[in-house]
Structure 1
Amino acid sequence: MSVFLKALAVALPLAQAAEIYVSPTGADTAAGTIDAPLQSIQVAVNQATPGDTIYLRKGTYSPSSNIQINKSGTASAPYSLRAYKGEKITIDGEDLPGTPADLDASLPNEDRGIIHVQDAEYWVFSDLVLVNGPYGMYVRDASNNRYERLVTANNYETGFQMQGASSNNTVLYLDSYGNRDPRKNGESADGFACKEGEGEGNLLKGARLWDNVDDGLDLWEFKSAVTIEDTISWGNGFNRWDFTPFEGDGNGFKLGGGDDADIGPANHVITNCFAFNNAKDGFTDNSQPGDFKLTRNTAWNNAKTGFKFGTAAATLTENVSAVNGEKSTSLSDGQVSERNSWDNSADWGNGSFVTVDSELVKGARDADGKIASSSFLVPAFGEEIGARTEWA
């Protein structure tokens, strides 16, 4: 085949990719163009073919059934579902089933999530706000997808949940907060969770997880590695909804857990993350076996323990633990601890940091999606340990 024909063969699929437009004021009998948008996101999803981009125009969408994503693109022709040119998009799930489900009720799998991604690969989701749903983003048995600059807030279960056989997913710059689960009195609504499955190559980077009724991050019964970088978790596990009895936990980073028959080893990697002001521990293996690596993380002002590892074979390097309510660390003999704040005789308190003003990390993100740079919890005396928001 000539060079020209080879180039044409590559270009043709790209040329055939379409743009489909949706607006809250559109009509599903319309052409789906920018001047004649559809109204239903699901109709646009159903019409799309690999390589297509679905653009959502500004406003609030209030579907009565959740958005089902169950077909796959390819590496060279992924689907894309995104806001149009910086416009603010909110998908409000209040009218979906299970908002909330009754106390102790079971929520059917197909009803989970405002956006329900299952058995689907090569999708890109970006710049969407998902609120008041039975989960915000729910991902099951879905791999090779990218989720960027999403907000999952005030949902009736976990804000962003991934489970089952899900690999090679990237979650960038997620904000997930205020998620709660009345049907369980707060037992399992986390900011971000990988649960009940196996996968590899999954990355969570640059997330903020706060004021969720259970844990900020939960890797319950997820048996393979998850890489977590540049993520902040605070204020989780407090009963802001007057649940009686209250079942929430409140760890910043719960890196495993489950029944003995289902727990399995995992090799999680946690780098440059913050846990502060949580109701329980900052970082914990929660009885999860595996080979964990924690490097340059900071646990500050959590109610119980900063770093709690008793089962995993964790290597903890250049981490900082300070001003936690019960103890700095709880480490079994199987852990490797090197050049951490607790490995010397220094007593770390609030004065050990340039600033403990947490408002510095709670404001608007930068235009590229990163958490705004600051000196929050930077060691005051030049020690090259602990997490930073002074991004390289």
Structure 2
Amino acid sequence: MRANQYGETTVSKLPFALTLCGVVLSAPVYAQQQPHIWHAITFGQSTDVNFSSNVLPEKVGVNDVTIAGNKLDTTSKADLSQPVTIESRGGKIANSHDGLTFFYTQLPADQNFSLQATVTVNQFGPENGAKPAAQEGAGLLVRDILGKPRQNPLKPGYEEFPAASNMVMNAIMTQDRKDTDHVKIQAMYRQGVSQPWGNAGAAITKKSYKEQISLAKTGTFRLKLQRTNDGYITSWAPAGSNDWVSQQVKGADSVTVQDKQHYYVGFFASRNAKITISDATLTTTPAETKASPAWVAKPWPVVAQIASSDKSAGNDYVVQARANYDGTWSVTQNEVVIGANKTVKAGEMMTQPTSLANGNQFSLAFTPANAPDKSVVQKLVVEKIALSSSERIYAGPQGKADNAGTSVSPLDLASAVNMLPPGGTLMLLPGDYAGITIPISASGLADKPKTLEAEGKAVIHGVLLEASYWNIQGIDVTDKSLRITGSHNLVENVMAYHNDDTGIQISSPDKIGRPLWASYNRIVNSESWGNEDPGKINADGFAVKMRVGEGNRLEGCYAHNNVDDGFDLFNKIEDGPNGVVVIENSIARNNTSNGFKLGGEGQPVAHQIRNSIAIGNHLDGFTDNFNPGRLIVENNTAMDNQRFNFIFRPSPYGGPETQGVFKGNKSLRTAPAKYDDAVTGDVDKSNYFIHQGKSVNSAGKEIKATDFLSLTMPEPLLRKPDGTFDLGSFLQKK
């Protein structure tokens, strides 16, 4: 007897008839083989029983395996003696994970197999007139682990988490996003998955061997999937034919990584796909598996960045640069070596002080320690310029590049940014400024940051801060957002409003490598409101998401009336977990979606949020957003959010002890609401969450609205001289 990953026991011998829902199913007898036990399961993202995107109303929640008119559940046992119908309205076939309905059997890792069947496509793609999502699929599949079975019935507020595995598919897939009639047959395989929630560095490969198939003309195929000692073979043939066309996939052990003792093989459907399996056979043979080379993720290309300006107002100058690999830098000035073999860690700044002379031609050579590329050589020519003051220069809306940089003869903003020396202050005169990029070459120094400060009301129509070591204070940003991709920056007392995306965002470009992700940025006492993207789905107040490193902080910030979330810490599987973000003393109010969204896509990150308030947001106040990490949630208050005040879902990857730590939080309602709070993790009696409509702690002690002097937040919300919020008597106990 063996137990699978869900504790089910499979026996080595079965009677020749199996009973399923009162129907007798005859089991085939294979020479010198024992029948295999087949099961049904639905798991993964977008398989929720209420998933309805481009699904007909009567089909919402239909993710079924049916034999002889009887639906299987996770406890059913079956065989291949009769046709099997698989219909999956939810789910997705994604690059890094899958959501699908699976009719499968478990095999030991020391066996090879050959699985083949006739597959008839009954329905493929949306039936409501929408275009396909290019996530539809059906066919044969082998994978190293299963996802956790979807919840049915579904708890309020819960959605299914990603389910990532190494796998090989022989799949019928949507041809493109144009129509639902044309499909292609592909060999697809995913390798490099080491965590059930997915991880950076994994890769999917797709090899088509038949495209532009019209289902109206050809809806039935023969498909085969085989495991051999050194890999997999996927094959297809026209119905009724033995003219097989095959693809090879190397590495038989690539699908025994997360579970080294077993793997799971069978038939699947996903995302508005329905198929019928007939004439199915599975045979197994002993395996003598050949070991494959260890998986190595595709390396990043070498990125080397010069972080010093091509203009200088003084003779003292510092050359600085950084790269995304450990390595050595060598610097020459006018063909004379001034810095040789300077060893620097990935992401850290290399600095080389020097004095400027005539010419000032620099060459910077970076040699990575462990990378496939050779040395990267970059050139820099520095021009000496004259400024009236190297400590303070002025820019104005009507400034010019050849002005003196004084308050009466200001520079234009772009020229001033490029001329400002480390440690200097750039003063903005009142008025409107076109959008500006502050390039990495304009970076300050660790001990001499550059400062951008408004003298009066200065409004910039978009700021992209690629540089590091800047302090930006007291400006307004509208139309095109303030986006930070550099590191070690301080943004303070900034107003961001009516932008066509998130008001203030920290994130990084794709494919630059984690060492260059935006890190150690602080946003302090800033406000972001009224931001709305054209699709009305993405514009947050503040976002620290999509490739961010360690040390980013939001302190004393206020997000209100944004079309998406107040604060968004979303994460993509393909990137791997973001660095830990700390949010303190901040407020999210009346945002169309969530107040504080603390992660995404199943990536475990131990973000921290303290002393913050979520009030009147149109979805949830504080949400894990499917982050199963060890969150720190302390001394926060949620009040009158339209769905949940607090929702922290149970993780499918571990127990409550692996999830958040909650202390001193309060959940309040001034009127009855539909949902109680749902909090999984380390919760002590200092918390008061909504249970059966009342705010109580784990000992049953209740707090009420009448316990407070006021539950009305001031509008407008002002600040005290020290920058903290002036909340008056709001939330003060009597």
Mark yes or no: TM-score above 0.5: yes
| Deviation by residue 1:157-179 (Cα, 9 ceiling, x = unmatched) | 00011113121111100100000
Q: 1:336 to 1:356 in 2, by over 3 A?
A: closer
Is it true that 1:178 corresponds to 2:533 in the alignment?
A: no
Residue 77 of structure 1 aligns to which amino acid in structure 2?
K
- The residue number in structure 1 matching 2:415 is 43
Query: TM-score of the superposition, structure 1-length normalised?
Result: 0.76
- Alignment deviations for residues 177-196 of structure 1 (CA, whole Å, 9 cap, x no partner): 000111xx221110000111
Deviation sequence 1:261-281 (CA, Å, 0-9, x none): xx5321111110000000011
Amino acid at match of 1:116: L
2:611 corresponds to: 272
The answer to whether residue 439 in structure 2 is matched with residue 74 in structure 1 is no
Contact 1:268 1:292 in 2 (8 A): yes
8 Å contact kept, 1:309–1:335 = no
Give, in angstroms, the shift of residue 50 of structure 1: 1.5
Percent pairwise identity: 34
Specify the code of the residue in structure 2 equivalent to 1:374: G
Which of 456, 471, 478 is the equivalent residue of 1:124? 471
Question: How many corresponding residue pairs?
Answer: 317
Query: Which letter does structure 2 place at the counterpart of 1:170?
Result: R
Residue type matched to 1:327 in 2? Answer: Y
Measured at CA, do residues 354 and 69 of structure 1 come closer, stay the same or move farther in structure 2, by a change above 3 Å? farther
Between the aligned partners of 2:721 and 2:458, the Cα distance in structure 1 is 17
**What is the Cα deviation at residue 374 of structure 1?**
2.0
Q: How far does residue 347 in structure 1 lie from its aligned partner after superposition?
A: 4.3
- Structure 1 residue 370 and structure 2 residue 724: aligned? yes
User: Would the aligned equivalents of 1:69 and 1:115 in 2 still touch at CA under 8 Å?
Assistant: no
SS in 2 for 1:154: strand
Q: Which residue number in structure 1 is paired with residue 484 of structure 2?
A: 139
**Matching of residues 275-290 of structure 1 within 5 Å:** 275-290=614-629
1:83 aligned residue (454, 458, 471): 454
**TM-score of the superposition, structure 2-length normalised?**
0.42
Q: 1:29 — aligned with what?
A: 402
CA distance in 1, matches of 2:675, 2:732: 21
Residues 378/328 of structure 1: CA separation in 2 closer, same or farther (3 Å cut) = farther
Query: What secondary structure does 2:641 align onto?
Result: coil
**Aligned match of 2:679:** 331
Alignment RMSD, CA only?
2.1
Residues 506 and 545 of structure 2 are in contact (CA less than 8 Å); yes or no, is this contact kept in structure 1?
yes
Residue identity in the other structure for 2:718: A
How far off its partner does 1:154 sit? 0.7
Equivalent in the alignment of 2:631: 292
**Residues 235-281 of structure 1 deviation map (CA, whole Å, 9 limit, x = unaligned):** 001xxxxxxxxxxxx110000113xxxx5321111110000000011
- Select which of 548, 551, 559 maps to 1:209: 559
- Inter-partner Cα distance in structure 2 for 1:282 and 1:68: 35
Q: Which structure is larger by alpha-carbon Rg, 1 or 2?
A: 2
Are the equivalent residues in 2 in contact too, given 1:266–1:291 (CA < 8 A)? yes
Residue identity in the other structure for 1:138:
R
Q: Does residue 161 of structure 1 match 2:505?
A: yes
Larger helix proportion, structure 1 or 2? 1
Query: 8 Å contact 2:475–2:494 — kept in the other structure?
Result: yes
Query: What does 1:336-347 align with in structure 2 at a 5 Å threshold?
Result: 336-341=683-688, 342-343=696-697, 344-347=699-702
Partner letter of residue 518 of structure 2?
S
CA distance in 2, matches of 1:208, 1:228: 11
Deviation at 1:337, TM superposition (A): 3.5
Greater percentage in strand:
2
Shift of 1:346: 4.1
Asked whether the equivalents of residues 444 and 450 of structure 2 are also in contact (C-alpha less than 8 Å), the reply is yes
DSSP 3-state at the match of 1:376: coil
Long gaps (5+) in structure 2: 1-354, 356-388, 509-516, 572-576, 652-657, 689-695
| Whole-Å separation in 2 of the counterparts to 1:379 and 1:300 | 15
Q: Which secondary structure does the structure 2 equivalent of 1:157 belong to?
A: coil
* Corresponding letter in the other structure for 2:397: P
The superposition leaves residues 318-369 of structure 1 with CA deviations (integer Å, 9 ceiling, x where unpaired) of: 110011733341023x443331123143444432321012125x33323332
Query: What amino acid sits opposite 1:306 in the alignment?
Result: N
What is the identity, as a one-letter code, of the residue corresponding to 2:484?
A: V
Q: For residue 495 of structure 2, what is the aligned residue in structure 1?
A: 151
2:241 alignment counterpart: none
Give distance in 2, aligned partners of 1:78 and 1:296.
Answer: 34
Alpha-carbon deviation of 1:210? 0.2
**Distance apart, 1:18 and its partner CA:** 2.5
Cross-structure match for 1:218: 568
Following TM superposition, by how much is the alpha carbon of 1:305 offset from its aligned partner in structure 2, in angstroms? 0.9
Q: Distance in 2 between matches of 1:66 and 1:55?
A: 15
CA apart distance, 1:24: 2.0
Distance 1:370 1:17 in 2: 34
After superposition, the Cα gap between the structure-2 partners of 1:270 and 1:216, relative to the gap in structure 1 and judged at 3 Å, is: same
C-alpha displacement of 1:59: 2.0
| C-alpha displacement of 1:234 | 0.5
Deviations along 1:37-95, one digit per CA (max 9) or x if unpaired, are 12x2111111122122110012222x1x53333232112111111113xx12122x2xx
- 1:98-141 CA distance string (max 9 Å, x none): xxxxxxxxxxxxxxxx11012x21100000011122xx11112x
Does residue 253 of the first structure (1) align with residue 604 of the second (2)? no
Take 2:727 and 2:621, find their aligned partners in 1: how far apart are those partners?
Answer: 22
- Deviation of residue 202 (structure 1)? 1.3
> What is the letter of the counterpart of residue 208 of structure 1?
Y
CA distance in 2, matches of 1:308, 1:358: 23
Shift, 1:17, TM fit: 4.3
Q: Does structure 2 retain, via aligned residues, the 8 Å contact 1:224–1:265?
A: no
Deviation at 1:291, TM superposition (A): 1.1
Indicate the SS of the match to 2:714: helix
Kept after mapping to 2: 8 A contact 1:294/1:319: yes
Instruction: Tell me if the contact between 2:484 and 2:507 (Cα under 8 Å) persists in the aligned partners.
Output: yes
Contact 2:714/2:728 (8 A) holds in 1 = no
Secondary structure of 1:305's match? coil
The structure 2 residue matched to 1:228, chosen from 583, 596, 600, is 583
Instruction: Kindly provide the amino acid, as one letter, of the partner of residue 472 in structure 2.
Output: F
- Contact conserved, 1:22 with 1:37, CA < 8 A, in 2? yes
Partner of 2:540: 190
Amino acid corresponding to residue 394 of structure 2 in structure 1: Y
How far, CA to CA, are the matches of 2:676 and 2:545 in structure 1?
Answer: 28
Inter-CA distance 30–356: structure 2 relative to 1 (3 Å threshold): same
Question: Does the 8 Å contact 2:549/2:580 carry over to 1?
Answer: yes
Equivalent-residue separation in structure 2 for 1:337 and 1:143 (angstroms): 37
